[in-house]
């Protein structure tokens, strides 16, 4: 069911009253946000676009805060997910046409994130968008421009920013000087799958393949079983499986995503730059240099993959990013998934399993200040979706605001550019330009297929 006209008007008026202050300040989370909005006057109306694994999950989490009025997916089978009484659409714009919808969740493939988020904000909706937020660095510019123009709330689905016992704890320890001055961060994001040639296949009758591709060039649908590939299982090794250029497997095609560099990097590089306070609008790496790379395909001089019938993200890679104050960040596909922090006094390691190292062992005798983690978070701790929904009400910035996420995402995109060109690049974070490399600079944006352009 939807909000009554009176309840919804009251909700929007409460939000508008604090909008100006909220756009300039980090979120301060109220205790109310730690539970679902129970009273009708507190509820939002939700529209969910993209209902794959993550998309379905964020829709369900959002539904704790209000009814889901409409859902959208270009796959008719996935479109059946969600509440029975929700309206169902193939075209996301019909969800945005709902005047009663307050917030949109976006769980589409990566290449659709920016356009849908921009269209949703211009339609007066607040947005929770899965990571990585953009496909290119130029899309970051576009989304930030519209964010400022519209004054909407946008939360990126980097839920590690709400992980109190892991990444928040590690960041609080670093900022409290427990490792001394940070000198090096090693960020492991895991290896990408690779494949042999994947055969063309008939498009499933339930899938609108043309619409799925959106701004990207039209190509044949591919899906084949028994293709030799690097399986996503512990231990690795070659094996047989089903490979595709759609749904979950889109991650291994540079046309649609950035492989593990943006899939896990949107989490770990984001946390690492948050740790060293390199998430401001003019912050980021000074240079990015490939240390080693084993590509799955050949690339031409413009950084474009030559073979077009197989996964084209690198099999393995390592890059070195240099930040101000001579802080070095190694982003690698090999090793233990997580972030190793090396300082002048100590080291610590953090991943989703916890935080380890001598500074952690010393907490029993020398605990962190009581408010250390809340200072990192910007207020009392909350679930990631709860933080977003509270900011929808207060109009304050959520913990994973696009403004602070884009500098880290730029590091990931630049790393992929450096790997594709196999050369070091210099980055001017203030100008948002690669220095002295026209080819690398041209890769900050991509040509968009007619009819799917982002108009900013």
Are residues 206 and 76 in contact, defined by beta-carbon separation less than 8 angstroms? yes
Residue 60 lies in a domain: yes
List the strands of the sheet with 287-294, edge to edge.
354-356, 347-351, 338-343, 182-188, 327-332, 316-323, 287-294, 425-428, 433-435
What does the alpha-carbon distance between residue 223 and residue 16 come to, in Å, rounded to a whole number?
48
C-beta neighbour count of 447 within 10 angstroms: 9
Q: Which pLDDT does position 13 carry in this prediction?
A: 42
What does the alpha-carbon distance between residue 316 and residue 291 come to, in Å, rounded to a whole number?
11
Contacts with 348 (C-beta within 8 Å, 6 or more apart), sequence order:
170, 173, 174, 178, 179, 340, 341, 355, 356, 357, 358, 359, 360
Q: Which pLDDT does position 30 carry in this prediction?
A: 38
Residue 394 lies in a domain: yes
pLDDT tens by residue, 140-183: 999 999 999 999 999 999 999 998 889 999 999 999 999 999 99
Angle, helix 384-394 to helix 53-62, in steps of 10 degrees: 50
Q: Which pLDDT does position 241 carry in this prediction?
A: 79
Q: Which pLDDT does position 39 carry in this prediction?
A: 64
CATH code for the domain of 101: 3.40.50.720
What does the alpha-carbon distance between residue 187 and residue 192 come to, in Å, rounded to a whole number?
15
Residue 372 lies in a domain: no
DSSP count for the chain of H helices, then E strands? 15, 17
What residues form DSSP beta bridges with 294? 316
Burial of residue 302, with CB atoms counted within 10 A of its CB: 0-12 exposed, 13-18 middle, 19 or more buried = exposed
Provide DSSP, 234-266: TT---EEEEEESSGGGGGG-TTT--THHHHTHH
Residue 126 lies in a domain: yes
Q: Look up the domain containing 54 and give its range.
A: 5-162+378-401
Q: Which pLDDT does position 151 carry in this prediction?
A: 97
Peptide bond into 132 cis (omega under 30): yes
pLDDT (tens, 9 = 90+) of the chain, 456 residues, equals: 333 343 444 344 434 333 333 333 333 333 334 445 656 667 899 999 999 999 999 999 999 999 999 999 999 999 999 999 999 999 999 999 999 999 999 999 999 999 999 999 999 999 999 999 999 999 999 999 999 999 999 999 999 999 888 999 999 999 999 999 999 999 999 999 999 999 999 999 999 999 999 999 999 999 999 887 775 544 444 456 789 999 999 999 999 999 999 999 999 999 999 999 999 999 999 999 999 999 999 999 999 999 999 999 999 999 999 999 999 999 999 999 999 999 999 999 999 999 999 999 999 999 999 999 999 999 999 999 999 999 999 999 999 999 999 999 999 999 999 999 999 999 999 999 999 999 999 999 999 999 999 989
pLDDT tens by residue, 122-131: 999 999 999 9
Q: What's the farthest any 2 CA atoms get from each other in the chain?
A: 64
**How many angstroms separate the Cα of 137 from the Cα of each of 189, 407, 410?**
20, 9, 6
What does the alpha-carbon distance between residue 362 and residue 23 come to, in Å, rounded to a whole number?
39
**How many angstroms separate the Cα of 328 from the Cα of each of 207, 321, 350?**
45, 6, 17
Question: How wide is the angle at C-alpha 259 spanned by C-alphas 258 and 261, nearest 5°?
Answer: 80
Residue 397 lies in a domain: yes
Residue 313 lies in a domain: no
Q: Domains in the chain: how many in total? A: 1
Structure token digits, residue 401: 């605001």
- 3-class DSSP state for residue 18? coil
Q: Where are the alpha helices (DSSP H) in 151-264?
A: 167-175, 209-213, 260-263
Provide DSSP, 305-326: BS--SS--S-SEEEEEEEEGGG
Residues 106, 111, 114, 115: what is their CA dihedral angle, to the nearest 10 degrees?
-90
Structure token digits, residue 326: 């001579």
Residue 295 lies in a domain: no
Are residues 409 and 140 in contact, defined by beta-carbon separation less than 8 angstroms? yes
Residue 111 lies in a domain: yes
Are residues 314 and 331 in contact, defined by beta-carbon separation less than 8 angstroms? no
């Amino acid at each position: 069911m939807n909000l009554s006209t009176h309840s919804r008007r009251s909700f929007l008026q409460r939000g508008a009253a604090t909008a100006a202050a909220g756009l300039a300040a980090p979120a301060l989370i109220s205790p109310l946000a730690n539970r679902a909005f129970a009273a009708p006057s507190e509820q939002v109306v939700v529209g969910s676009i993209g209902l794959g694994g993550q998309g379905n999950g964020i829709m369900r989490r959002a539904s704790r805060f209000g009814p889901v009025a409409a859902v959208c997916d270009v796959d008719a089978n996935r479109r059946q997910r969600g509440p029975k009484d929700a309206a169902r659409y193939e075209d996301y714009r019909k969800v945005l046409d709902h005047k009663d919808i307050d917030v949109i969740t976006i769980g589409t493939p990566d290449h659709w994130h920016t356009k849908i988020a921009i269209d949703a904000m211009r339609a007066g909706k607040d947005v929770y968008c899965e990571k990585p937020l953009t496909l290119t660095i130029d899309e970051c510019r576009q989304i930030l421009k519209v964010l400022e123009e519209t004054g909407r709330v946008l939360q990126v689905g980097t839920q590690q920013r709400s992980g109190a016992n892991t990444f928040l704890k590690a960041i609080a320890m670093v900022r409290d000087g427990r490792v001394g001055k940070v000198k090096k961060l090693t960020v492991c994001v895991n290896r990408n799958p690779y494949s042999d040639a994947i055969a063309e296949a008939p498009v499933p009758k339930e899938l609108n393949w043309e619409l799925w591709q959106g701004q990207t060039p039209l190509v044949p649908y591919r899906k084949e079983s028994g293709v030799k590939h690097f399986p996503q299982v512990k231990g690795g090794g070659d094996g047989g499986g089903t490979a595709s250029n759609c749904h979950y497997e889109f991650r291994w095609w540079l046309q649609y995503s950035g492989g593990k560099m943006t899939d896990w990097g949107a989490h770990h590089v984001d946390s690492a730059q948050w740790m060293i306070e390199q998430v401001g609008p003019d912050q980021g790496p000074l240079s990015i240099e490939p240390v080693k790379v084993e590509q799955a395909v050949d690339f031409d001089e413009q950084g474009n993959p030559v073979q077009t019938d197989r996964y084209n993200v690198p099999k393995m890679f390592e890059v070195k990013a240099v930040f101000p104050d001579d802080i070095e960040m190694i982003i690698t596909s090999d090793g233990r998934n997580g972030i190793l922090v090396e300082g002048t006094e100590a080291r610590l390691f953090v991943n989703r399993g916890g935080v380890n190292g001598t500074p952690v062992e010393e907490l029993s005798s020398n605990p962190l200040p009581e408010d250390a983690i809340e200072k990192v978070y910007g207020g009392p701790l909350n679930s990631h979706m709860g933080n977003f929904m509270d900011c929808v009400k207060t109009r304050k910035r959520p913990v994973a605001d696009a403004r602070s996420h884009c500098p880290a995402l730029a590091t990931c995109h630049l790393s992929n550019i450096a790997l594709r060109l196999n050369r070091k690049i210099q980055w001017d974070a203030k100008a948002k330009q690669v220095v002295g490399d026209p080819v690398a600079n041209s890769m900050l944006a991509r040509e968009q297929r007619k009819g799917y352009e982002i108009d900013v």
